[in-house]
Amino acid sequence: MDVEQRVKKVIARHLKTDEDKIRPDSDFVRDLGAESIQSIELIAAFEEEFDIEMDDQAALAVKAVGDAVEFIKKVINKDGGKAQ
């Protein structure tokens, strides 16, 4: 499973939405209905899923699903996290 699929699974689980409705251009708040606390929970869930540590401030600045995928890929490549 690639990074994008794993990100979508985490989002679907935490925001209780259908994976098929999550697109790369989906905005976490506007399109997926994420609230502030859910954004923080998503960061923690991404860290757990990918065995990485993300800068919370930088991660909270990410607004769309595709941007989150790219952000996580960069962290994985920088930190040598578990991409698979």
Decide if pLDDT at 80 tops 80. Answer: no
Residue 81: its pLDDT value, please?
52
| pTM reported for the whole predicted model | 0.88
Q: Which of 76, 26, 69, 24 is nearest to 50 (CA)?
A: 76
Q: What's the pLDDT score for residue 83?
A: 47
Looking at the domain 3-79, which fold is it? 1.10.1200
What pLDDT score does 1 carry?
A: 80
Q: Tens digit of pLDDT for each residue in 13-71? A: 999 999 999 999 999 999 999 998 999 999 999 999 999 999 989 999 999 999 999 99
